[in-house]
Amino acid sequence: MIDMNIRKRLGTAANAFRLELCLRLPDDCRCAVLFGPSGSGKTLTLRALAGLLTPDEGHISLMDCTLFDSSRGLNLPARERRIGYMFQDFALFPHLDVASNVAFGLEKTGVFRTSQVRRKVMEHLDFLGIADLAARMPATLSGGQKQRVALARALAASPRLLLLDEPFSALDPLLRGRVRQELRGILETSGLPALVITHDPADVEVFADQLAVYEKGGVAKILPFREEYGGRPAASVLEFLLGTVPGRAGGLSSPTISSVRAVA
């Protein structure tokens, strides 16, 4: 589904570091989780995929469509990539009501007439069960409602892939469990492939068909998570994940890691 191999210099001249990212996900992967410590390049991966960050060199392709290739000087702008991005803080337009927020991406899909836009917007709001919020301003919404609006807005632009940057970090911990299951259901219903960034092992269990584990420096290991570890209780998932982080007990000698296919 995704094949990316990029390099990017970051930081100031005095404090520069090079990030090298390789991520290869198989075509049958519906939902992949990017897991790892802060600063390992997870958000950078999503930004590069969405076209919000231009790598120094390398290539990115999505479903046989090349998005970026430095050797050919190709860089598809974000607006033409059709990749939905749900930001950590949801990034709803504060000056537009919910319906206008959702309508923002519709024009690109060829929907222009007011009545048509209105109908489409209501369809998307209905799908997420928030039709009653259409006239509300983002500032008056709760965290869970904002998340649904952000999701509706991203879906309305009919993306080919959805990127979710820590979708639950802005939510009340009590809400997370329920919203997590709902989001998984929505993704399954819409049939949209998704990439989810998380720090929370519980998210890994719910979302990961494939698990990409990031280490400092940004090397991703891809684990076919669902097949081998699906259905395990959270505690063992946590144990498994901690084992993959260098410097922790277990490390790379752990037997569960023997199936790791390092991509570099």
Partner 1 sequence: MQRKTQFQAYVGRKQGSDGRYFQSPNALVIMLDINPSAPLLLSLRVAGLATFFSFILGVGLAWAITRRGGALRAGMDAFCTLPMVLPPTVLGYYLILLVGRRGLIGPWLMEYGINLMFSWKGAVAAATVVVFPLIYKSARAALDGVDHSLEDAARTLGASEWTVFFRVSLPLAWRGLFAGTMLAFARGMGEFGATLMIAGNIPGKTQTLALAIYDAFQAGNDARATELVIITSLLCMSVLVAAELLAGRRRSA
Binding site for partner 1 (CB under 8 A): 50-52, 77-85, 87, 89, 91, 93-95, 104-105, 107-109, 153-154, 157
Cβ-Cβ contacts under 8 Å for 98 (sequence gap 6 or more)? 125, 130, 133, 134, 135, 136, 137, 138, 141, 149
The residue among 145 and 244 lying less far from partner 1, judged by its C-beta, is: 145
Shorter beta-carbon distance to partner 1: residue 21 or 106: 106
**DSSP helix/strand/coil, 195:** strand
Determine the 3-state secondary structure of 42 from DSSP.
helix
Least distance (Å) from partner 1 to the CB of residue 4? 17
Between CA 257 and CA 191 the distance in angstroms is: 30
* Residue number, 9 or 108, with CB nearest to partner 1: 108
CB of 242 to partner 1, least distance (A): 31
CB of 141 to partner 1, least distance (A): 16
| CB closer to partner 1 out of 77 and 233 | 77
Separation CA 133–CA 139 (nearest Å): 12
Q: How far apart are CA 243 and CA 250, in angstroms?
A: 5
Least distance (Å) between residue 240 CB and partner 1: 32
The minimum distance between CB 80 and partner 1, in angstroms, equals 8
How far apart CA 42 and CA 47 sit, in angstroms, is 9
Residue closer to partner 1, measured from CB, 197 or 208: 197
